[in-house]
Chains A and B, each alone.
Chain A
């Protein structure tokens, strides 16, 4: 059995981390893979730290407990760094992706990280430019699939378009902005 990929998303309530996990899960299913997507269900206060998860595998996924040792961690809000232990339980060779204007090396020294691979993307700037407000989840998705190759860019774009067309039927600019944000982040994500 091929190894199952586990992803943990860190964000604040209202930033769309749960939606990012769901969009990724839905895109992955379209390629015939099995997946899970779920958040921690808490009091759901806007701005409170929250986590969401994905599991992805070529085989049916039977485990139904929380994700405790993720291979990939995506942080939608850099103000969580130092306040929430975002690398808790992470694989030694895991991938840490942070939404920030800083370079990966700066994040590495801030968190005093050994091992792991660090990537950064300025998802707030991308969403501000394309959507007019900081909604980092879709650009984070674009960056995440670039660094994990868990699903192809065009597959994610196609599936996300279908999902957004249902919700934003009368606001085509929101659909176009989000899809462009995915593409931009896919290109702009910075490695060490």
Chain B
């Protein structure tokens, strides 16, 4: 057997490596667990002269995103990284980045929000800014984090899009877990991302523009509508770039990935690293003759409602797995979106919600198998299920 060209990288190392290869003009960042390493390693690349990046060490995440927006408005290719409370502190500026159509890229490590204080993985941070106008791409493992970050640059900067993109990994599980990753040659990444040629720049004094203007009842509505339209146009861009990435590098990416879904009777829908664990559960159930399938959602914003509904339409029962909660008493954000997407179908699968893994609570193959077994009984009309359940919590 020929030795595969694998490298040992944590999710954070893989994302920092992608940033080195992308070689952005500006990185402004403030450290926070478990995302610190991304910009820490990258600042080492800056100090060692491996990149041409202007690294701006700031005093808070609010300032980090502010500096990123300024640099992006000036026409620079800009990246940063953060997590959890850091993303929360950026929230005000995240909306501004999208509204000003700054195509910057954020490496985000999913971590729970306080209180109580917790440094481990859940998706509350990303979900809390789901309506900020950012494209949101989730990664199952370090390989996907690396591949997604490289694609994110092209998605953000596409003339039809011009929106910021955040690529996420699950805190510690992926950010700090060492895995085997296939890295691309520097030249291939540079050729894929190309040079950024901004259409507008604050520094282009021959073509002066206004950025951050007052926009009342006269045009605010139109400008927000344009953000929604850009998000809509991002759909085809994401798919085209996923195909181009597959042609060039052999790993394909779409809005989501189905695993043994085509002939499945029951399925779960899940984001991030748990999709990997769920594959193992699916294989085990298939060996027992239970037609279980999996849909791993990669792109949460824009939300691929139509495609998702088509992929799930023939199932009998679905459990949507949420690693965050809206606390509305009606389930998690992914559940809301998926159930809404299925509403227009002629005949709908039954859809239930499992909220799991808050604050990094481990989720095992056995946990997921039990979710499938409850769906199996539901589909066979042997059991009814409450719409929202909390998996593995002590009541």
Contacts and interface: CB of A to CB of B under 8 A. Distances in A.
A69 to B, nearest CB: 10
A62 B276 CA distance: 4
A187 interface: no
Contact of B177 (A31, A36, A62, A68): A36
Given A62-B280, A65-B364, A66-B362, A41 B8 contact: no
A11 to B, nearest CB: 17
Contacts of B8: 22, 25-26, 29, 35, 37
Main secondary structure of the interface of B (DSSP, over half): loop
B138 interface: no
Contacts of A149: none
B83 interface: no
A38 B178 contact: yes
Interface string A1-32: 00000000000000000000110011001111
A36 B277 contact: no
A32 B2 contact: yes
A30 B279 CA distance: 26
A68 B364 contact: yes
A38 B364 contact: no
A63 B177 contact: no
Contacts of B273: 64
Nearest to B1: A32
B119 interface: yes
B276 A64 contact: yes
Given A22-B178, A38-B176, A64 B120 contact: no
Given A29-B6, A29-B7, A32-B3, A65 B365 contact: yes
Contacts of A191: none
Contact of A64 (B3, B176, B180, B277): B277
B180 A62 contact: no
Given A29-B180, A37-B177, A64 B4 contact: no
B144 to A, nearest CB: 12
A36 B176 CA distance: 10
Contacts of B178: 21-22, 25-26, 35-38
Interface string B263-303: 00000000001101101100000000000000000000000
Interface residues of B, number: 30
B317 interface: no
Interface of A: 21-22, 25-26, 29-38, 41, 60-66, 68
A63 B277 CA distance: 4
B364 A64 contact: no
B176 A62 contact: no
A73 to B, nearest CB: 19
B58 interface: no
Contacts of A41: 119-120, 172, 176
A64 B170 contact: yes
B363 interface: yes
B4 to A, nearest CB: 4
B6 A32 contact: yes
B276 A63 contact: yes
Contacts of A31: 3
A68 B6 CA distance: 26
Nearest to B181: A29
A4 to B, nearest CB: 10
Contact of A32 (B4, B170, B173, B276): B4
Contacts of A60: 180
Nearest to A163: B8
Contacts of A63: 276-277, 279-280, 365
Interface in B1-55: 1-4, 6-8
B179 interface: yes
Interface string B353-365: 0000000001111
Contacts of B179: 34-36, 61
A63 B179 CA distance: 11
Given A33-B6, A64-B174, 12 more contacts: A26-B178, A31-B3, A32-B3, A34-B179, A36-B177, A37-B178, A38-B173, A61-B179, A63-B365, A64-B170, A64-B177, A65-B277
